[in-house]
Structure 1
Amino acid sequence: MNVKTKLTDCLRPLLLGALFLGSAAHAEVQSINRVVAIVDNDVIMQSQLDSRLREVQQTIAKRGAALPPEHVLSQQVLERLIIENIQLQIGDRSGIRITDEELNQAIGTIAQRNNMSVEQFRAALAQDGLSYDDARDQVRREMVISRVRQRRVAERIQVTDQEVQNFLASDLGKMQLSEEFRLANILIPVPESSSPETIQAADRQAKELYQQLQQGADFAQLAIARSASETALEGGEMGWRKAAQMPPPFDGMISALSVGEVTEPMRTPGGFIILKLLEKRGGGSQVRDEVHVRHILIKPSEIRSEAETQRLAERLYERILAGEDFAELAKSFSEDPGSALNGGDLNWIDPNALVPEFRAVMAHTASGDLSKPFKSPYGWHVLQVMGRRATDSSEEFRKQQALNVLRNRKYDEELQAWLRQIRDEAYVETKL
């Protein structure tokens, strides 16, 4: 298993590299590790560009795609680094800080997604040529960018009740519980207030790319070399979307595509976009498996070691087996603030909303039974399964789906506009 690839799947890498060495004793290094871009109050170094370029080249090679010329790829990678650097500076000015506890939890989640313990993950990183400290920095920076976007983009998106009702009553809303599509895109940008000549040039470029695709050109390679989308270096990969999550006119076009087909270039506020359908899934009735479960959570702390925490969980388990009331013990001992006052009751819950360790133990515990103490990233648990059911999507669930779809649609559009805005407002001087 290549851990770099797995890490990329979980959190996009932000390999910002080493700082420029200022000592005269390193004159030879200075001549190589030169500044390739000035971005507001920071710089991007050749070493950072080289590091990210190698990472992208490895990722593209693993997908089996042909590499574009290095000078083309370098420009794309540098532009990605510039956009990331701007966002990191915004995060720094906004006082966004990632605590060690939050970072450790994120690292633990990545390890779990790779079916590893943190120790195994560290060893695999070392074997793959990536230090654990570099990985932590990588994840920390991605978390900063995520929080910057949450503050600057997500928080200003509003969806009204009327929009939700209109969506549910629409044909697209009714399609929401049907198919999902894995998509890739190529974006030819058109800046705001562009001249007619600039728009026509972008239109010609998009049509030229479309003709190349019709003649068998590799979509991912063209996206890497020519697209201005945020996902360009991933071959344009956008992940799974429902038709309703796409802005018009794509929402009505996707369902008619066969896997492997591409749309003709379409004009959007951001420019001309070409989409490719990579996969389809879903359809039919939407039935969810839900479990009624309650638990007691005991967390290690500065005054209680891991071993002591485990022993306390085991004692509570024995007391419940001996006949003591689960709910009363949960109220007295559980350190889950969301459920302790309710006797540890999590009510009916979708297993997919739970961490893998909890979900796995719950799946192997029969209704009415008590689990043995087990560990998750949050601490030590004892759980009891109260019941299981399969349920059709409720009206409330449908409303929540509609709200999520509308928010995602607005977020995608708002994010691209915001990224263009901060790029236009930043002072950037490239020196490639």
Structure 2
Amino acid sequence: MKFFKRPEWRRPHWALALLIAASTLLPAHAAVQPLDHIVAVVNDEVITRQELVKRYGEIVRNLSRQNTPLPPREVLEKQLLERMVTELALQQHARSTGVRVDPTQVERALQRIAAQNKLDMAGLQAALEKDGQSLDSMRNTIRNELLIARARERDVDNRISVSDAEIEGYLQTQAQQGVETEYNFAHILVTVPENASPEQIQARRDRAEDILAQLARGVDFAQLSASHSDAPNALQGGAFGWRASGKMPALFADALKPLQPGQIAPLLKSSNGFHILKLNDKRGLDVALNVTQTHARHILIKTNELTSESDARNRLLQLKERIDNGVKFDELARLHSEDASASKGGDLGWINPGDTVPDFEKAMNALQPGEVSAPIQSPFGWHLIQVLERREQDVTQERQKLLARQAIRERKAEEAFQDWVRQIRDSAYVELRPLD
């Protein structure tokens, strides 16, 4: 396997919260701390009023930094509580089905966040405290994000398959349409529960049509997303950023194709519910490419409850010493690697730029042919990497097939993910209580 980058279950709000340089104070009324009480029960856990108020403050700061008009407080709190209920149900599912997060992985994530903001850990702690947060709350947020991401990878992403016939069909369609188009768009979702009655479906349709009517009157899209959307990125304004037409549901691609930037598509209906799309921009996508390919192999040691980070690293240090003393890399890979490539002596074949996760690619690119890396860490575990050779290659046709496979996989995974979230949310026992 080539350690392809995998999407997170949603865009982590903690990444947005760390735009600390633009810290914004809450409105005065948000500082009032009501008496604490339970506002929601999710299976055997609860969400309290104070937890909701804390998250509300984070969201208000983030929306203010993005210059997004704020919805009425009661609307935003209701939307946020539903989001917290879904998150908690997903976390419970992950824990109850055996997903675990190593504390060292949480610490690594904190260190990366600090480095991205050009801070050490002390500086990060000070910045968080200035923003009304703490390292402990950040750790908890990251841990929960990783729980959900790993459950998604196991339950959704790893079960997606793409056939050669699907790839050929995709490429034929693209050839008929000419140059593939990328769209920058935003999305509002109004979900429809499984086994919904006709009355429930009509009520959700009415809600979606009311949102469309407000958009027609000039109400801000991001504000309506934060107020009404059931999509995971609702509180980020529903923004999808740039997405190739082949990497989205055909329903979306067909609706966006005739639009001009700034226009909104007619109401769409899928198995998940009703969708509203706004096109921000579009551009042609040129896939012709000449790249430097790297032929590499590796040994992977995964971390888990039985193998700590230090244990994995020390095992690889011992293996590297044996390689330095003349033992063949491929023999040790067959015996010790925990990757699917072990049977091939760890051989990953020819790797294109961007095929692997950044930590792996950075270490690989620093090696000369024949050189073996020190143990390096990635989200998959710990690796020894050996570069065998490099070459310049026109990979246009190969790349087109790879992009087609990735596009089909992403599209299937996103659709399956939405179903997965809905099923977990619908199967949870949820009791919503008065907020005040």
1:45 is aligned, of 42, 45, 48, to 48
| 2:30 counterpart residue number | none
2:276 is aligned, of 262, 266, 274, to 274
Give the alignment of 1:257-296 within 5 angstroms. Answer: 257-281=259-283, 283-287=285-289, 289-292=291-294
- Deviation of 1:42 after TM superposition, in Å, equals 0.8
**1:177-198 superposed Cα distances (whole Å, 9 cap, x missing partner):** 7332232111223334444444
Partner secondary structure for residue 269 of structure 1 = coil
Give the alignment of 1:265-414 within 5 angstroms. Answer: 265-281=267-283, 283-287=285-289, 289-292=291-294, 301=310, 348-353=350-355, 386-395=389-398, 397-414=399-416
Q: How many residues align?
A: 399
- Deviation of 1:287 after TM superposition, in Å, equals 1.1
Q: 1:155 and 1:240 mapped to 2: Cα distance?
A: 24
Q: Structure 1 residues 341-350 or 119-128, which shifts more?
A: 341-350
Gaps of 5+ in 2: 1-8, 16-32, 302-308
Q: 2:212 and 2:42 mapped to 1: Cα distance?
A: 34
Q: 1:151 and 1:114 mapped to 2: Cα distance?
A: 31
Q: 1:376 and 1:422 mapped to 2: Cα distance?
A: 32
Give the alignment of 1:154-193 within 5 angstroms. Answer: 154-169=157-172, 171-172=173-174, 178-193=180-195
Partner secondary structure for residue 100 of structure 2 = coil
Q: 2:273 and 2:386 mapped to 1: Cα distance?
A: 52
Q: Does the CA-based 8 Å contact 1:294-1:343 persist in structure 2?
A: no
Q: Does the CA-based 8 Å contact 1:295-1:383 persist in structure 2?
A: yes
AA of the residue aligned to 2:431: E
- Change over 3 Å in CA distance of 1:174–1:32 after alignment to 2: farther
- Deviation of 1:254 after TM superposition, in Å, equals 1.8
- Deviation of 1:97 after TM superposition, in Å, equals 1.2
| 1:256 counterpart residue number | 258
Q: 2:391 and 2:113 mapped to 1: Cα distance?
A: 29
AA of the residue aligned to 1:137: N
| 1:12 counterpart residue number | 13
| 1:429 counterpart residue number | 431
Q: Does the CA-based 8 Å contact 2:300-2:338 persist in structure 1?
A: no
- Change over 3 Å in CA distance of 1:249–1:329 after alignment to 2: closer
Gaps of 5+ in 1: 1-7, 15-29
Could you tell me the percent identity over the aligned residues?
Answer: 32
- Change over 3 Å in CA distance of 1:267–1:31 after alignment to 2: closer
| 2:249 counterpart residue number | 247
Q: 1:224 and 1:202 mapped to 2: Cα distance?
A: 17
| 1:21 counterpart residue number | none
- Change over 3 Å in CA distance of 1:241–1:79 after alignment to 2: same
2:218 is aligned, of 210, 216, 219, to 216
Q: 2:45 and 2:59 mapped to 1: Cα distance?
A: 23
2:144 is aligned, of 141, 144, 155, to 141
Structure with higher Rg: it is 1
AA of the residue aligned to 2:43: D
AA of the residue aligned to 1:425: S
| 1:202 counterpart residue number | 204
Q: 1:245 and 1:254 mapped to 2: Cα distance?
A: 13
Q: Does 1:61 align with 2:74?
A: no
- Deviation of 1:98 after TM superposition, in Å, equals 0.9
- Change over 3 Å in CA distance of 1:364–1:158 after alignment to 2: closer
**1:363-411 superposed Cα distances (whole Å, 9 cap, x missing partner):** 788x87989989877889898794452532344x444433332232222
**1:124-179 superposed Cα distances (whole Å, 9 cap, x missing partner):** 4455443222222111111111222233333444444433333333x247669733
- Deviation of 1:70 after TM superposition, in Å, equals 0.3
Partner secondary structure for residue 211 of structure 2 = helix
- Change over 3 Å in CA distance of 1:104–1:351 after alignment to 2: farther
Q: 1:374 and 1:304 mapped to 2: Cα distance?
A: 6
- Change over 3 Å in CA distance of 1:121–1:344 after alignment to 2: farther
- Deviation of 1:113 after TM superposition, in Å, equals 4.7
| 1:230 counterpart residue number | 232
**1:14-71 superposed Cα distances (whole Å, 9 cap, x missing partner):** 9xxxxxxxxxxxxxxx981211111111111111111111111111111101100000
TM-score normalised over the length of structure 2: 0.73
Q: Structure 1 residues 160-169 or 344-353, which shifts more?
A: 344-353
Q: Does 1:76 align with 2:76?
A: no
Q: Does the CA-based 8 Å contact 1:176-1:242 persist in structure 2?
A: no
- Deviation of 1:11 after TM superposition, in Å, equals 2.7
- Change over 3 Å in CA distance of 1:128–1:295 after alignment to 2: farther
Q: Does the CA-based 8 Å contact 1:298-1:380 persist in structure 2?
A: yes
Q: 1:372 and 1:424 mapped to 2: Cα distance?
A: 48
Q: Does the CA-based 8 Å contact 1:112-1:356 persist in structure 2?
A: no
Partner secondary structure for residue 191 of structure 1 = coil
Q: 2:298 and 2:123 mapped to 1: Cα distance?
A: 28
- Deviation of 1:296 after TM superposition, in Å, equals 9.2
